[in-house]
């Protein structure tokens, strides 16, 4: 599971764009968006968080990977 802070995300259209970006590189991932917290959680994704963050940023939404709790 990867979590990202996405400050520029604020509407349903933004969430759809972010979700499309993630699914474009990780078709089997599950994407959950929390508008209030400006968080995106990607589950069932293979590969490094940095690659997902780059895809989200390429869609126009800079994403900061958050460290997983130990």
Residue 66 has pLDDT above 70, yes or no: yes
pTM of the entire predicted model? 0.89
What tokens appear for 53 in the block? Answer: 């963050």
- 49-63 per-position pLDDT tens digit: 999 999 999 999 999
Closest alpha carbon to 55 in 23, 13, 32, 11? 23
- 9-62 per-position pLDDT tens digit: 989 999 999 999 999 999 999 999 998 899 999 998 888 899 999 999 999 999
Closest alpha carbon to 14 in 52, 68, 63? 63
């Amino acid at each position: 599971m990867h979590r990202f802070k996405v400050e520029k995300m604020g509407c349903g259209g933004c969430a759809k764009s972010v979700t499309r970006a993630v699914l474009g590189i990780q078709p089997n991932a599950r994407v959950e968006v929390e508008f209030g917290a400006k968080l995106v959680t990607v589950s069932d994704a293979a590969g490094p968080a940095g690659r997902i963050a780059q895809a989200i940023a390429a869609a126009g939404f800079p994403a900061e990977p958050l460290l997983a709790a130990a």
